[in-house]
Amino acid sequence: MLPNRVLSNRVLSNRVVLALALAAFGCVWLLNLGVVQPNRIVTGTGYGLYAATGWLGAGIVSSLLLVVVVLATRPVHKRYEVLAALLTVALMTLPLLLEVFALHKLPTDSAYARIGIGAGFWCLAFFLALILLETLGQLRASRRFQLSTVLLIVAGWWLCASREGLSSLSLIREYTNRADQFAQALAVHLSLSLSAVAISAVLAFALALAMVRRERMRRPLLGLVSFMQTIPSLALFGLLIAPLGALSAAFPFLQALGIRGIGWAPALLALIAYSLLPMVRNTYVALIEVPESVVDAGRGMGMSERQIFMQVKLPLALPVIIEGVRITTIQAIGLTAVAALIGAGGFGTFIFQGLGQAAMDLVLLGALPTVFLALAADAILSALKFKEASR
Amino acid sequence: MIELKGVTRRFGDAVAVDDIDLTIETGEVCVLVGSSGCGKSTTLRMINRLLPSTSGEILVDGEDINKVDPEALRLNMGYAIQSTGLFPHWTVARNIGVVPNLLKWPARKRDERVNELLILLGLDPATDAIKYPHQLSGGQAQRVGVARALAGDPNILLMDEPFGALDAITRENLQQEMLRIQRQLNKTTVFVTHDIDEALKLATRIAVMDQGRIIQHDTPEAILRRPASAFVENLIGKGDRGLKLLALRTVGELMEGHSQPREPEPGADGLNEADSLRFALSVMVWENTLQLPVYNGAGEEVGTVKREHLLQGGA
């Protein structure tokens, strides 16, 4: 009865979901769900799940995880569909836990008191997301479906965050105090990293082409871009200050353009330098790995070199080139945060301010959007690569 | 007509092709045969200028190929290679349509041509045309390769071991298709192979090459009967050259024809006009008979072939 056994094995138990649910259960009961701080700098008092949200919150969270465990181990009809729906709703409404916590524990007499997010909350969110990921994998969900799930959850958090009940959340306080700066940081962060990627993509394409055409250019060029990658980012940002400062002092028109020793100019240069290696390497490898027989056939049939390049080599190389752009974009978004140190702006500003003031939620205000931007870039470029590769 | 006059090709100090003269008449299939490294592929690739010749002259229909734009030259020469070289990101139909596209044919004419070729090569226009190369079997991919070479209706066909990577049965099938297509289209063909049986089967004339030189250039029959050197004798194999000779002729050529086609006797075993004499002999030995009836394509008995004749006049 082989088919039956295979079926029951597949249906009976999903150990990944089971293990994740148990881990989430342990974390949410053992770690602090939230913290109450008298002001933005002092370390606050932590509260566990039961202390923070009372029987109602603790009961809902525990029974949710219990249902997940049951679905993971029992052959329930359409259980992955049920799991996906349940987890999406749970993740969308997760911030409400913090709202209940604020309602219970926030002292009403202090204008500076605020609540922070505890490790238990982060762990719960993280494990629920992993279970959802596994569930979507089991369902073989399409990219579109996965994307809509993510958008639903983001929308849920957005709605929760804009509610009055969560205005005492430290992270949101930091945000409301800096709403204008936040918008500006987003604009600067995006334009810096994206223009660095765009410029280095053009440069890298030219360099890779030169390497393909002239084999002896390969070693020195790859050596150069690899060398730039080995300079610590902070050092490179610093090293550019002096020459750019001197240039700007010598040529007033550069100063008028906003090019100075600090600010966006050295940041952009350094980001371009770092972006070159992954981009050049991927483009070069992609171009030389087009099978020789395919090129030979194209040439033998009467295609010109230009036609071979545009119609054969480039389309075949494109998925690998896009992979290079993906790696570079993620790297550039991360490095732009460091560029705040030389006055380039962006989300790094919040991170370093927060570190300076020992205000962890201000650090988060810079770090979380940076991570989010990197994930979004990853998702978009992966989808693009997948589309190209499947053509 | 393709003429090679004193053509030499060197790679550094090594001489790949050494001062060869070769004339390939219009409509004939010239097979270059020899072991690997003998210069046969190099010779082929000089004809469409994928490799420049070091010295000598190559003329196509009397015109020096070095005076023609290489791309224009190649557009008039179909090109098929062992590894097929199909574009992996294009469908079968688009692969076959490459040269018509390069020649800027109107879309309709191109699509009709693609359909025509799919049918000619035994592929299904409805299902196979939209497949990608990785979805094809080796034999199918090579059929597409040949179709692509024929698509622009070139005067000349260059084929570099096109069936070399296929299994014996698929290769045999494609060789039969090649013969059928060649009877229909009469392209001037240069065909490179290391397989002497393939050469004997497909060629109107064979050029045996060794160490960059042409050792013998003659019809398959003449090569078998009068090998020019020990090398050629070795290549064709002494053991079964008689049988190879028999394989060159068909039953239809040797049979005693009836004055008029007859209804076949029910249940009688026989041969087809197009079967080779080698096959006829094999059947006779197996069935231990002295003669066999011969049928035409319509199934009528058109003659008989006798073992006696076969042994006396077959080879």
Q: Is B105 in the A-facing interface, judged by CB distances under 8 Å?
A: no
Residues ≥6 apart with Cβ < 8 Å to A62 = A25
- Cα dihedral B87, B91, B96, B100 sign: negative
Q: Count of CB atoms within 10 A of residue A374's CB?
A: 18
Read off the amino acid at residue A154: V
A4 band by pLDDT with thresholds 50, 70 and 90: very low
pLDDT attached to residue B141: 94
Q: What is the pLDDT along chain B (315 residues), one digit of tens a residue?
A: 999 999 999 998 899 999 999 999 999 999 999 998 899 999 999 999 999 999 999 999 999 999 999 999 999 999 999 999 999 999 999 999 999 999 999 999 999 999 999 999 989 999 999 999 999 999 999 999 999 999 999 999 999 999 988 888 889 889 988 998 998 889 999 999 999 999 999 999 999 999 999 999 999 999 999 999 999 999 998 888 888 999 888 888 888 888 888 887 777 778 888 888 999 999 999 989 888 999 988 888 899 998 888 888 766
Residues ≥6 apart with Cβ < 8 Å to A243 = none
Task: Please report, for residues A37, A45, A52, the alpha-carbon distance to residue A48 in angstroms, rounded to integers and kept in the order given.
Answer: 15, 10, 6
pLDDT attached to residue B315: 60
Q: Is B83 in the A-facing interface, judged by CB distances under 8 Å?
A: yes
CA nearest A291 in B: which residue? B85
Are residues A207 and A130 part of one domain?
no
CATH of the domain at A373: 1.10.3720.10
Are the beta carbons of B81 and A296 separated by less than 8 Å?
A: yes
pLDDT attached to residue B262: 84
Query: Are the C-beta atoms of residues B39 and B209 closer than 8 Å to each other?
Result: yes
At residue A370, does pLDDT exceed 90? Answer: yes
Are residues A197 and A131 part of one domain?
no
Tokens for B71?
């791309």
Which DSSP state fits B240? T
Distance in angstroms (rounded) separating the CA atoms of residues B220 and A207: 54
Are residues A235 and A152 part of one domain?
no
Interface test with A, best of B87, B131, B132, B192 (most A CBs within 10 A): B87
Are residues A252 and A121 part of one domain?
no
Query: Are the C-beta atoms of residues B52 and B117 closer than 8 Å to each other?
Result: no
Mean pLDDT, rounded, of chain A: 87
Distance in angstroms (rounded) separating the CA atoms of residues A309 and A287: 9
Nearest by CB to residue B74, choosing from A293, A300, A311, is A300
Are residues A183 and A76 part of one domain?
no
Are residues A294 and A148 part of one domain?
no
Are residues A310 and A286 part of one domain?
yes
CA nearest B78 in A: which residue? A301
* pLDDT tens sequence across A170-194: 888 888 888 899 999 999 999 999 9
pLDDT attached to residue A5: 47
Q: Count of CB atoms within 10 A of residue B171's CB?
A: 20
Task: Please give the residue range of the domain that contains residue A141.
Answer: 2-170
β-strand partners of A114: A37
Domains held by chain A: number: 2
Contacts of A307 in chain B (CB under 8 A): 102
Taking any CB pair shorter than 8 Å as contact, residues of chain A touching chain B are 291, 293-294, 296-304, 307, 311-312, 315-316, 391
At residue A291, does pLDDT exceed 70? Answer: yes
Distance from CA of A382 to the nearest CA of B (A): 19
Contacts of B50 in chain A (CB under 8 A): 296, 299-300
A296 band by pLDDT with thresholds 50, 70 and 90: very high
Are residues A270 and A154 part of one domain?
no
At residue A109, does pLDDT exceed 80? Answer: no
Read off the amino acid at residue A51: A
- Cα dihedral A305, A310, A314, A316 sign: negative
Distance in angstroms (rounded) separating the CA atoms of residues B154 and A41: 82
Are residues A127 and A222 part of one domain?
no
Are residues A27 and A153 part of one domain?
yes
Interface test with A, best of B50, B69, B83 (most A CBs within 10 A): B83
Contacts of A293 in chain B (CB under 8 A): 81, 83-85
Of B206, B154, B147, give the one whose Cα is nearest residue B29. B206
* pLDDT tens sequence across B247-278: 888 888 888 888 888 887 777 778 888 888 99
* pLDDT tens sequence across A219-262: 888 888 888 888 888 888 888 888 888 888 888 888 877 777 78
Last residue of a domain, one of A125, A153, A170: A170
At residue A165, does pLDDT exceed 80? Answer: no
Query: Are the C-beta atoms of residues A104 and A36 closer than 8 Å to each other?
Result: no
Contacts of A303 in chain B (CB under 8 A): 71, 98, 102
Are the beta carbons of B74 and A299 separated by less than 8 Å?
A: yes
What DSSP string describes B7-34? EEEEETTEEEEEEEEEEE-TT-EEEEE-
A300 band by pLDDT with thresholds 50, 70 and 90: very high
* pLDDT tens sequence across B47-62: 999 999 999 999 999 9
Phi and psi at residue B225, in whole multiples of 5°? Answer: -75, -40
Radius of gyration of chain A (CA): 26
Distance from CA of B91 to the nearest CA of A (A): 10
Which DSSP state fits A36? E
Question: Highest mean pLDDT range out of A164-168, A311-315, B260-264?
Answer: A311-315
Last residue of a domain, one of A112, A142, A170: A170
Distance in angstroms (rounded) separating the CA atoms of residues B217 and B226: 11
Are residues A257 and A113 part of one domain?
no
Last residue of a domain, one of A146, A170, A194: A170
* pLDDT tens sequence across A78-97: 888 899 999 999 999 999 88
Are residues A222 and A143 part of one domain?
no
At residue A12, does pLDDT exceed 70? Answer: no
Are the beta carbons of B50 and A299 separated by less than 8 Å?
A: yes
Distance from CA of B203 to the nearest CA of A (A): 23
How many beta-carbon contacts under 8 Å exist across A and B? Answer: 60
